[in-house]
Structure 1
Amino acid sequence: MRLSTVYLASLLFTSASFLSFSIDAADYVVSSQEEYKNVSSSLTPGDTIILTSGVWQDFEILLEGEGTSEAPITLKAESKGDVVLSGKSNLRLAGEHLVVSGLVFKNGYTPSSAVIAFRKNKESYANHSRVTDVVIDNFNNPDKQESDYWVALYGKHNRFDHNHLEGKRNKGVTVAVRLNSEASQENYHKIDHNYFGYRPTFGSNGGETLRIGTSHFSLTNSYTLVENNIFEQTNGEVEIISVKSGKNTLRGNVFLSARGTLTLRHGNGNIVENNVFLGNEVAHTGGIRVINKDQVIRNNYLEGLKGYRFGSGFTIMNGVPNSPINRYHQVENATITNNTFINVDHIHLAAGSDAERSAAPKSTIFKNNVVYNQNDTQPFSIFDDVSGISFRDNVTNTETASPIASGFDKQKISLKREGNGLFYAKGIAQGVDESLSVIDKESVGTSYYPKTVVSDDFDTGNTIAVEASAKALKNAIATAQNGDVLELAEGEFVVPSVLYIDDAITIKARNSQKTTLYFERTALFEIRDGGSLKLEGLVISGAQSPDSSGNSVVRTKKWGMVNNYRFTLANTIVKDLDINHSFSFFTSGKGAFADAITLSNNTFTSVSGDILRLDKEIEDYGIYNAEYVTLKQNTFTDIKGGVLKLYRGGTDESTFGPHLLMTNNVLNNVGNGKRNKKGASVFLHGVQVTDVQSNEFIQSGPLIIDHTVGEPITSVIDNTFTATPTIQIQELHAEGPHTAILKNNIVAGKEASNL
């Protein structure tokens, strides 16, 4: 409906041409998709479409028209944040000088390749257009491996600013700058003042938060400016930002507890300056990774970063001689100056050196930087010839080893935290400038949508008493909220149906090990999207389970989970999982991904299958089922399968895990069943971090470890193997002996430190 013309009094401009085209500009308030279609087909400069407040279901919006810089065509919400696009909805822009603001995308997913696309199709792009004050919140395809972008920038001179994006869980880059046509190259886009919130660990390649270009067009310049954004807990994969084009500038951005790095993956002549990386001692928090030619890295502040290798606080890579466009080009003519590194665990030089990546950095300067570690441990690791890097006038408080020591002045450094929240070395000219401005959360994203930090929901809600009946337990689970604790009365629960877990809840015995759960279906618990489960102080028996193969006590949804989950079992007795063969305790479904699985202080006896089956991703695409697996102080007796089968196949190097911590467990007669094809008590394939320490293996199958890619860190220390075969470790890709650390292990009564 046409409401009004622009008031003549507001048109007192000197340009007669401006008067001529804006005199008829109008505001259209629409409340249905049909009304939108009617008014959007003939928009003129200065027109505004206002969507009325409410939920717009299955709405695919096309905003198309030819506005001008003085009189853009605008689409906006009647009230910011109160127009919600849900179901199968998206937004496309095509034309000139378009502006969209105030919309929220949630409770659905895009039916196309992007939630917001700055194009109509391959022939029609948006230029000089802007999306601002928009929210995309957990707007995920229910198939986790179905890839899409949340934002795809095409065309030229577009701006994406003051938006809020959080919770991308399915495959695909959150924001992608596309250079796959001449009309989108040398684009001069601006991405600024956005809040990039939590992105959970994806568990394979395809979890970047921002990508500029692709390898196919990486020798093309983009001229994209990425400025004054905050990236908080953007943990999707090793590359938070993946720059795959040239002549981009990334400045003034802040990274908060974000796992991964700003990676100059492809393309030349990029500038990275005035950025702040605050790891807060979180695992895998990284800084900057340098590849290619003519990169400038200056005046960046990096503190409390724990990452290593490709995800370290600072990395200079080795390249591939005469590299194809999609591999690693040699670092050449990089300038790395006036950066400050405070309590950064790892700075890796010539990283990735191997038979293929043999081109060491050259013609590179590392100058006027400050490197300070409170624990007096120097952070540098050198993997190849670094004579092509000139180290000059740097200051450090630690001993720096040859061959780079001459480029560092070791001195006592006194730090002071200034008003911008950053540490400065008093009396030292090197490092970041004192005028460096650190953008805060209030200055980014939208003003109307909360910026929440994700934390563990277990044991944060109400405690609910549950009487000793299956019906009471089922009802309590159905009504429980995130963080609630269900406290079970003493007695026996015989559960006739699968209990579905849709929230993060704890189920515990009121009095430890005085409550027994039996179940009459193929599983007792099934974790579904949005669910996480903690079990504590129970007795769980499979004695009344169906007489069929393949039962589980706990399983995830069998296929298609998009949300990560957590599972904890503590102080519990698990027994009699042997009514038929292949009865496992925990089975992951395909596509399910656990942030953490923890078993502590439990007793398992008489199990015909495995304890933890985390091996459903067998296609070798770099996908796996769990990030952190922790086994502490458990006893496993008469387990025909393995305690753990953890599998990550493929050769991709973009993930952090899996990680295994296995300490102080006892395995007695584990892994000897005829259906245990590997014959292993513990089978690990492609695990990136393995710590097996102080365990006792008695009359059990061997510990088998397959190293794949990524320079896995494996330590097997202080374990005893009685009537158990020796440890089996093999390198499936790297040449030479395995890289595992083996110390103080006793096999058949003899010390075997270097098996």
Structure 2
Amino acid sequence: MRLIKLNIIKLSLVILGCFSTTIAAKDYLIDNKQAYAKIANTLQAGDTVILQNGVWHDFEIVLSGQGSKQLPIRLKPQTKGKVILSGQSNLRLAGQYLHASGLVFKNGYTPTSAVIEFRNGKELAFNSRVSEMVIDNYNNPDKRESDYWVALYGQHNRFDHNHLEGKRNKGVTVAVRLNSEQSQQNYHQIDHNYFGYRPVFGSNGGETLRIGTSHYSLSDSHTLVENNYFEQTNGEVEIISIKSGKNHIRNNVFYEARGTLTLRHGNGNIIEENIFFGNGVEHTGGIRVINKDHIIRNNYLEGLTGFRFGSGFTVMNGVPNSPINRYHQVENAQIENNTFINVEHIQLAAGSDAERSAVPINSVMNNNLIINDSQQPFTAFDDISGIKFSNNIANTAVLPSLSKGVKQKQVKLKRNKAGLLYPVSESVFAGAKADLTVLKKADTGVSWYPKSPAIVAFDSGKTHRVENSAKDLLLKIEQAHSGDVLELSAGDYDLAKLVVIDKTLSFKAAQDGAVNLTFERSSLFEIHDGGSLKLEGLVISGKNSPDSAGNSVIRTKKWGMVENYRLIMERCQLINLDINHTFDFFKTGKGALADEITLINNQFSQVTGDILRLDSEIENLGVYNAEYVTLTNNHFDNVSGALVKLYRGGTDESTFGPHFLLNNNTLNSVGLGKRNQTNASVYLHGVQVTEIAENAFTNSAPIVVEHTVGEPQTRIISNTFTNTAKPHIKELNIAGSHTAILKNNQVIQK
């Protein structure tokens, strides 16, 4: 009886203690930064800080204290989504059992190295959580200035149900840092986040998620990444970059995402039950394998077009006795029960060269299903006897070296309720498990913030009729919204002001050839952040331009663009670009990157400069100015400079482009001006994909192509070169003959 009474007393004291702690917990409704500063250092377990609805400008929040599992210290908004952190704002967590949620970061950028950081100086966060946060286009205006949006330090932290979209400046979107013992063996959880559009960055530094760095890659992280949705995360070739050991990546969806889930450094990672939907989008990739002891199983990959390091599935060659930051040999990789449907490229021993000569060893590829509508997908770049193939099924004949381990069989597929294709026959045992689930986009991120389309389409808004006056045109430009069309009535428009394009606008002649644009400034249009430009049916003349060198019809902001842009021109006439020397049609500013520049059915005559000058990035850091450049059915006559100067220098291999297409154009007297230092009608340096087909070159300078890193694909086919030298191809990084394909071209001397 005495023992029972004693236990009752002890239980009563515990309950009383918990009750007392609950009573002591406080709710603080904060309406300004000074009020937050007063209570920030006094927060106790169970306290809740509520930020009043509104826009908080330049607010650097430090949430610190010692909460408990039952009574965390909380930071939240008065209403989810109604507290906007703008300007130079950020959030840092330091202590134990902290939980921040429901805030929106937009219209600004972090003043420090991260927008949200699980540390404050040397004090780290443990057992803490960040959820239902939104970071929307919160970018440093200097695109090359690096920062993280989220940096996880400490141990046992969770980052979940957040919405991250539109990171454009350099730096990883979410980084798990292992740069101290307190941040290793961390067991973080990253789940149910929506990773929205990240545009092509145009150089290294555009990863969406990175776990570790090469320096600490032999340390284990034990980070769990599950149930996240990656939509069009196109920054660079590595979407997820694993640079540590013992991580678990499962049940994530990659939707039309250019790049791969890359096991870049570290050992013993598990990659399972992830879904890759490429939908035939260019450069969509799957999984890239490097290092040892990885398990890759039950993943579903469909419609992936990527190649080389960005292919649907890649097993790399390593560097013998590799330094920690290069490529370690693939060893003991278990690649089992994966489904590959219309995956164009499965590349084995990829990257094989004089340095990367360590082939995969002691690895297996078992019970995988490989179905392709066209050709078989396998390419072997070196000895692959170290990968044992067994019980795989493909519907096409594969490489002879794989035929014993890959059975050819016709397999009928049917799409199930989850949207995945599976064999109809129960006798097919290869491929991903039948009950694989597909995470829904709506189940990630937050419900109260829209997952809007990333890019405003041309001609998607209203059409505004412009009467025959420059004044009315400028007024309609100011009044228009992104996606709108300005339809110009016939007549002459002389623009005395530079037209700044900071939204998506189309300028269209009501009647092709009946609208004449002239301009009195050194340029007619200047593209700024947020701007994209489409021109149709216009006649543009440089006759009223300043009588000085260096004019242009279109240019980007000279420096400091952080947003990619698009330029499309169709059925236009460009004349009299010769008021002085070096009059370019288009020239880029430093740091600007075009998603696309497309010229179709245009006529250019009397140009003293270049048509497209895309060569401002001369530091050889792997940076370039345009992802896709396409010229089709245009006529160029008497152009002193080059048709295009497209430059990508350096040795970095993490980008997809540039891409260049020149098809069915006519060039007469192009590239022969004394100021054209390239001595080329077309000058391409470091371009990754080039196709020049069915063009007529007459009395022009030659094509000059300089191959650098990667495996550049150059095809020059069925062109006519009249009184024009044949194309000149240089290999700058490898010995021997060039790798370009030249066929069916005619060189005619008269």
Q: Does 1:421 align with 2:409?
A: no
Alignment of 1:627-638 (within 5 A): 627-638=627-638
What is the CA distance between 1:674 and its match in structure 2? Answer: 0.4
AA in 2 matched with 1:81:
G
For 2:586, the equivalent position in structure 1 comes to: 586
* Pairing of 1:473-484 with structure 2 (within 5 A): 473-484=473-484
Name 1:378's counterpart in structure 2: 376
- Matched with 1:262 is 261
Q: Deviations over 1:115-151 (max 9, x none)?
A: 0000001x21000000001000000001111100000
1:207 corresponding residue in structure 2? 206
Match of 2:40? 40
* Alignment partner of 1:397 is 2:395: yes
Report Cα offsets for 1:88-118 as digits up to 9, x if no partner: 0000000000000110000110000000000
Label 1:429 to 1:16 Cα distance change in 2 as closer, same or farther (>3 A).
farther
Q: Which residue of 2 aligns with 1:713?
A: 713
- How many Å separate the matches in 2 of 1:455 and 1:517? 28
Secondary structure, aligned partner of 1:220? coil
Q: Distance in 1 between matches of 2:235 and 2:360?
A: 28
Instruction: State the secondary structure of the residue aligned to 2:477.
Output: helix
Q: For residues 88-103 of structure 1, what are the structure 2 equivalents within 5 Å?
A: 88-103=88-103
Q: Are 1:227 and 2:231 an aligned pair?
A: no
Residues 185-218 of structure 1 show CA distances to partners (whole Å, capped at 9, x for unaligned) of 1100000000000000001100000000001111
Cα distance, 1:455 vs structure 2:
4.2
Q: Where does 1:41-440 land on structure 2 (aligned, <5 Å)?
A: 41-121=41-121, 123-375=122-374, 377-427=375-425, 428-440=428-440
Partner residue in 2 for 1:608 = 608
- Structure 2: where are the runs of 5+ without partners? 1-10
- Mapped contact 1:30–1:49 kept (Cα < 8 A): yes
3-state SS, counterpart of residue 23 of structure 1: helix
Distance in 2 (CA, whole Å) between partners of 1:18 and 1:307 is 57
Q: How many residues align?
A: 738
Aligned residue in 2 for 1:522 = 522
CA positional deviation for 1:748: 2.4
Deviation sequence 1:523-544 (CA, Å, 0-9, x none) = 0000111000000101000011
Check the 8 A contact 1:117/1:152 in 2, yes or no.
Answer: yes
Give the Å deviation of 1:379. 0.5
Q: Residues 724 and 749 of structure 2 are in contact (CA less than 8 Å); yes or no, is this contact kept in structure 1?
A: no
Matched position secondary structure for 2:42: coil
Q: Percent identity?
A: 62
1:533 maps to: 533
Shift of 1:442: 1.9
Aligned partner of 1:143: which letter?
A: D
Q: Contact 2:604–2:635 (CA<8 Å) still a contact in 1?
A: yes
After superposition, the Cα gap between the structure-2 partners of 1:736 and 1:16, relative to the gap in structure 1 and judged at 3 Å, is farther
- 2:40–2:64 contact (8 Å) kept in structure 1: yes
Contact 2:113 2:147 in 1 (8 A): yes
Deviates more, 1:453-462 or 1:489-498: 453-462
Give yes or no for the alignment of 1:650 onto 2:650: yes
Aligned-pair CA distance for 1:456: 4.9
**2:677 corresponds to which residue?**
677
C-alpha distance 193-13 of structure 1, shift in aligned 2 (>3 A): farther
String of CA shifts for 1:288-317, please: whole Å, max 9, x gaps: 000000011000000000111100000000
Shift in alpha-carbon separation, 1:720–1:516, aligned structure 2, 3 A: same
**Cα shift at 1:453:** 2.9
Segments of 4+ moved more than 6 angstroms: none
Q: Is the 8 A contact 1:83 1:104 kept in 2?
A: yes
C-alpha deviation, 1:469, in angstroms? 1.1
Contact 1:13-1:19 within 8 A present in 2 as well = no
Counterparts of 2:163 and 2:15, CA distance in 1: 37
**Residues 514-564 of structure 1 deviation map (CA, whole Å, 9 limit, x = unaligned):** 111011110000011100000010100001100000000000001000110
The code of the aligned residue for 2:306 comes to: G
Query: Any idea what SS the aligned residue of 2:104 has?
Result: strand
Q: What displacement does 1:22 show? A: 3.3
Could you say what secondary structure the match of 2:262 adopts?
strand
> Are the counterparts in 2 of residues 635 and 667 from structure 1 also a CA contact under 8 Å?
yes
Q: Which amino acid aligns with 2:654?
A: S
- Aligned residues of 2:369 and 2:394 also touching (Cα < 8 A): yes
Counterpart contact for 2:723–2:749, Cα < 8 Å: no
Q: 1:315-363: CA deviations, max 9, x gaps?
A: 0000100010000001000000000001111111111111111111111
Normalised to the residue count of structure 2, the TM-score between the two structures is 0.97
- The separation in 2 between residues aligned to 1:423 and 1:585, in whole angstroms, is 49
Q: CA deviation at 1:23?
A: 3.0
User: Could you say what the CA RMSD is over the residues aligned between the two structures, in angstroms?
Assistant: 1.2
For 1:223-263, what per-residue CA distance to the aligned partner results, in whole angstroms no more than 9, with x for missing partners?
00000000001000000000000000000000001000000
- Read off the aligned partner of 1:581 and give its amino acid letter: H
**How far 1:628 sits from its partner (Å)?**
0.2
The Cα shift of 1:13 comes to 10
Q: Which amino acid aligns with 2:416?
A: E
* Cα separation, 2, equivalents of 1:218 and 1:517: 58
- Partners of 1:323 and 1:452 in 2: CA distance: 44
1:11-34, Cα deviation, whole Å (9 max, x unpaired): 999655434433301111100001
Residue segments in structure 1 that go unaligned for 5+ positions in a row: 1-10, 751-755
The correspondence of residues 691-710 of structure 1 with structure 2, limited to 5 A, is 691-710=691-710
Deviation at 1:749, TM superposition (A): 5.7
What code does the residue aligned with 2:409 have? Q
Distance, in Å, in 2 between the alignment partners of 1:13 and 1:481 is 66
SS of match in other structure, 2:323? coil
Amino acid at match of 2:682: V
Residue 753 of structure 1 is matched in structure 2 by none
Secondary structure of the equivalent of 2:119?
Answer: coil
1:6 is matched with which residue?
A: none
SS at match of 1:700: coil
Distance 2:14 2:286 in 1: 51
Contact preservation (8 Å) 1:698, 1:724: yes
Query: What is residue 574 of structure 2 aligned with on the other side?
Result: 574
Change (3 A) 1:12 1:210: farther
Cα distance in 2, alignment partners of residues 401 and 16 from structure 1: 73
Contact 1:365/1:389, CA 8 A, preserved across alignment: yes
> What amino acid sits opposite 1:276 in the alignment?
I
Residue 7 of structure 2 is matched in structure 1 by none
Determine the C-alpha separation between the residues in 2 that align with 1:149 and 1:615.
28
- Aligned equivalents of 1:339 and 1:13: distance in 2? 56
Q: Calculate the TM-score normalised by the size of structure 1.
A: 0.97
Give the distance between the partners of 2:661 and 2:528, measured in 1 at CA. Answer: 25
Distance in 1 (CA, whole Å) between partners of 2:701 and 2:742 is 18
The letter for the 2-side match of 1:94 is A
Give the match's secondary structure for 2:404. Answer: helix
Distance in 2 of aligned mates of 1:559 and 1:471: 28
For 1:15 and 1:195, the matched residues in 2 are separated by 41
Q: Distance in 2 between matches of 1:223 and 1:401?
A: 37
Q: Is the 8 A contact 1:543 1:579 kept in 2?
A: yes
CA distance in 1, matches of 2:491, 2:418: 59
Q: CA deviation at 1:479?
A: 1.2
Matched residue type, 2:603: T
